[in-house]
Amino acid sequence: MEIYVVPDAPATGVVAAGILAAVVRSKPNAILGVATGSSPIPVYEALAAHDLDMSQLRTFALDEYVGLPAGHPQSYAEVVRREVTERLGLDPARVAVPDGGAGDPHEAAVNYDSAIREAGGIDVQLLGIGHNGHIAFNEPGSELDSRTRVEVLADRTRQANARYFRSLDDVPTRCITQGLGTILEARQLLMVVRGADKAEVLAAALSGPVSPECPGSVLQLHPHVTVVADQAAATHLDAFRQVTLQVATPSA
């Protein structure tokens, strides 16, 4: 596992985008797994500044709420359209998000899992981590070999995401999420973490027991993991050899 520690959130974006850009340069038709939430935003911002032809990329998002009306600004389909597809100039036909509006979301989840496999699998999967250790929306208790499926969101996750909605009541209760087993099939995992509020859970995921109680702990089972953390998130990672990078960011 490689751990890069950088001064702040914009720097996490610069370093993670550099890793993604190298993948795209060597494989222009790479398949990227994209995440939503706040952590990957600096990554997409920094990646957009690279002079890269991304027209042949395919992307698969990690997850989606179930039951939001089509076009809802906080649906991940819309977030991915704004933050990824438009920002990076991707071909919308090559960008996939689970269908949270499907009549049968369970079937949609199974089809999504198959689509990833049929596309040849994900080359690099970008990940954040939730305060309860979730990755994608695999909440504590998720099976380590779980597949893409419908899940019930944990209260803590709904509370954390209420910042994007008018009220907590507006946050959906269910989602479609790639499973932990699905995520582990990606050829590389790239986790981006920022903030002191993630320091404990990041250390638990990387050095605690591998257990469904901390879904992020599955990173320990994968042979090619890169973590990019800001200093605040990295304070509990003493057990690891870390590479500290001084990174020039546009705002620095």
Active site residue 132: yes
Q: With binding defined as CB under 6 A, does residue 182 bind ligand F6R?
A: no
CB of 55 to ligand F6R, least distance (A): 24
Total residues contacting ligand F6R (rule CB under 6 A)? 14
Q: With binding defined as CB under 6 A, does residue 180 bind ligand F6R?
A: no
Nearest to 251 by CA among 39, 41, 42, 35: 42
Q: Which is nearer to ligand F6R, 54 or 190 (CB)?
A: 190
- ∠ CA 158-177-103, nearest 5°, is 95
List binders of ligand F6R among 128-167 (CB under 6 A).
128-130, 134-137
**106-145 burial, b if ≥16 CB within 10 A, otherwise e?**
eebbbebbeebeeeeebbbbbbbbbebbbbbbbbbebebe
Quick one: which H or E segment has residue 204?
Answer: helix 199-207
Q: With binding defined as CB under 6 A, does residue 58 bind ligand F6R?
A: no
Active site residue 139: yes
Q: Which is nearer to ligand F6R, 16 or 27 (CB)?
A: 16
Catalytic residue among 64, 99, 134, 161: 134
Contact 10, 243 (CB under 8 A): no
Q: With binding defined as CB under 6 A, does residue 10 bind ligand F6R?
A: no
Options 10, 13, 33, 37; binder of ligand F6R; rule CB under 6 A: 37
3-state secondary structure 20-77: HHHHHHHCCCCEEEECCCCCCHHHHHHHHCCCCCCCCCEEEECEEECCCCCCCCCCHH
Q: Which is nearer to ligand F6R, 135 or 205 (CB)?
A: 135
Q: With binding defined as CB under 6 A, does residue 32 bind ligand F6R?
A: no
Site of interaction with ligand F6R (CB under 6 A): 35-39, 62-63, 128-130, 134-137
Q: Which residues are catalytically annotated?
A: 63, 132, 134, 139
